[in-house]
Amino acid sequence: MSSRGKTWWGQRFIAALEQQMDAGRLQRGRSYASPRRILSFEISAKGIVSATVRGNINPYFGVTKEPRYQVAIQLDPIPAKARKTLIAQLGGRADLVSHLLMNEMPEGIDAAFAESGVGLLPRTEKDFKRTDCSCPDWANPCKHIAGVYYRLAEQLDHDPLLLFELRGLARNALRTELVQTPLGQALAPLMTEDDQAPLEPVASLYPPLRPLADEVTGAASGASAWQQQAIDPKGFWRGRAPLPAEPSTRIEQERDRISAVLVKKGGDYPPFWEPAQSFIAVMDELYRRISSKNRRLL
């Protein structure tokens, strides 16, 4: 299975795609999923995916100018009758309602879709046939469509409610219908922005350094531990005297208190992050190794 799907719904989307498509076209399609190939990518209000894909020059087939192919993808919309049943199924479970109102994809949502007679994700060959590409390839899906499918899977990883929009159910409409259910009426007021704790400004993102015991003692006499050391200024600047040894205990005390706000701000899979492993986990391991190495050097 491709490593592009980072979430369970993204992985299942890719798994269904790989079961229905030719392996050779899929391999070429993965190379077409990059921004260098997909020049434009958008999803309309009706859930139709449109993309412009850059092709290759191939004089053997008479292609002497770099082509631009137009790709369109559309999933089957949820029928009106099934949609009503689906909202009733989703609205009957507090865990599903609460996650969806917070724009999250709950794990148990598959059961609600199954009981409504519709699928959350495409599963069969027919589900992948509502596609079109202006390239001369007779196969459907072609490598350009496959590339757009892979790009779509990446979008689904970051925005799971996009699945509902692809099935013709806009997220605003989904929220409105869920809020009208009994559980939605009870949970929605608890998730409004007015109930969030107010933000308090801070002077610094880093915690203040705590004075060491000898510094506290020296402060009583008006001098710090470093200031109490006799240092010749000329010898110091000419390199004759070593630098005062900073206690390593301070580094060890403060190391675990620094919060990686900027690293964690984008979440586990920020848009620029391609690998399947969590960005926060990778950076945490990197900082841990760097700090351990620096402690040995100090």
Kindly list the domain boundaries of the chain, sorted by start residue: 8-193, 213-297
pTM assigned to the model: 0.60
Q: Are strands 38-43 and 131-133 parallel, antiparallel or unpaired?
A: unpaired
Q: For residues 7 and 113, what is the distance between their CA atoms, to the nearest angstrom? A: 18
- For the chain, the residue count is 298
Low-confidence ranges of the chain (pLDDT < 70): 1-5, 191-199, 202-261, 265, 293-298
The CB-side HSE value for 111 (13 A sphere, CA atoms) comes to 9
Between CA 33 and CA 209, with CA 285 as vertex, the angle to 5 degrees is 130
**Region class of 135: left (phi > 0), else alpha (psi between -120 and 50), else beta:** beta
Q: State residue 229's pLDDT score.
A: 54
Q: For residues 194 and 169, what is the distance between their CA atoms, to the nearest angstrom? A: 27
Q: For residues 204 and 198, what is the distance between their CA atoms, to the nearest angstrom? A: 18
Q: For residues 264 and 280, what is the distance between their CA atoms, to the nearest angstrom? A: 6
% of the chain at pLDDT higher than 70: 72
Closest to 30 in 3D by CA, of 14, 12, 48, 49: 14
Q: State residue 1's pLDDT score.
A: 44
